[in-house]
Structure 1
């Protein structure tokens, strides 16, 4: 049984605060999205009757799902153990679907409750979930398809200086139409890093099998640590076909919102799983994928809001890695009082209770960085009334 199962959360207040976006170190673009000149974060804060709080990143544009499904259950589950509350939360989103925003929101609320539980026990989240080490490998991420060679070189040097073992760059430029340029950029980075770092590439689902074969023929499979999302994430037959014909590890999982799809990915031949804690339907679901990776002896990593992910990744195998998308994540550190630090290619966590990240709210309010805020209290939220499914 997970420690949180017997926790009781008598919730008094919930708020969501939207923080002003920060400028990217380098405006960032991938195969199909961007460029992103800035990036932001919104935080859900859940407070119990005793004033204990838990926080996590949250989507701020789907409050209708929170208000109609999740909050009524949270506010009106007084003196009920979480092992009985979570199933109600889970099934409340059934009609919204388990593959979209509703599932991610469920996971974000779940993260905040884990944070609350660990904080009120005055224990770091990583210890609360049973991990013993306070460090996790970091891999560098970036290499936007819009980067100049000089920008690529500067970013690669950041991660070399940080002692990262691996660097992941974007390919699939211009909606997959410039494979020759992708090849040229990859070879440029391979020359930069030599044997000092491994290299992975991410096509963000834009290629076909033939495109992928063309790319791999040009760069060589042996020079890649993994190939991430080369095909559409729902094209399972094509993924299976591709995996059967190449030797480099293929990675998927960032687009998934439920752990239940990951065994299918493994059966398709995927050898690197990448669940994102803030986008999957709860920490236990993330743990299911972690354990699947361990049992199948395949690569495992997590990204998203990397500094939050570190608190979970310490419970994974020591070869597990946290993705750090430096260009758009680095600026957010201005909002934190505490966060994990880099050392020799690893994130080192402090003994801060709860998640290893703490927002500096005094700074955010003083500098007018809170650009949106909404508060819900128990007396204003009616009990859950499920919609009838036709």
Structure 2
């Protein structure tokens, strides 16, 4: 039993497709995250699964049943919106019960049991008589979650549900949503533009960009074996350093004409790039004669620092993560090098690092 998307395409009146040939299989009970930058079609895809937006081409199957023409109420799923979509004139209890009452097929006793159980699950029993305006952002989000839980649907869709919350509350709500999904065994399809949310919550991640699926994989696969430059740059804080490189000899490549890295595989003779994560970039202070970069700025993060530097050639900027007690300051002359743990991308931006292709295409 699963949710299967086959060649899903969405066109409006413009020539360019909003989504093109989206394929995925979402297993029952998994936490599946759709991530990508604003405007990439994430919410559109979610709304098509929900039945709120018609598809232009392709097929959606839920539990082995084609649902292309089914209205939302017949798809046995529930949705949590970014805006919470609460009724301001109803109290918490009635907001959670609204969908159950609208069905008219659920007894009053069952409604009360489901609503009370859902409110208990999200710790809102004591606030059941309050109106939405009397609640904090996190509490409103819990009401929306309780409504989804009370519906007893086995598939829950969430469209950027935490984007309106402050950073600390987002962390707390991430943990609560993840725990709730595991406890109930829900199939949860979750849309976000936040790569941290995706990495910390997902069983599998779909990366969308430029109307197409760039990669589907586990968080570890996405991070370690990104399909291309876009995926590599989207995941990781600070972002990966992408630098031009040329082959020097077997086993060595020259990076940006500034330093060399050992590579244990065949690489193109020209027109390729190297990706170096900031924690794999090595910097040390040196005199001007031996320097290949200078420090531009520094961010102190408590247990570590991020050093932003400008390379001598091409004025390219790079970021390196160093210990919090490392003594660097703006305008220091430094020598930049890297470990051998790097990624390689061809002229089209495709990851050509050894073993990456097997993982990406698995």
| TM-score bracket relative to the smaller structure | under 0.3
Give the TM-score normalised by structure 2.
Answer: 0.27
Return the structure number with greater helix share: 1
Q: Which has the higher strand share?
A: 2
Report the TM-score, using the length of structure 1 for normalisation: 0.26
* Greater gyration radius: 2
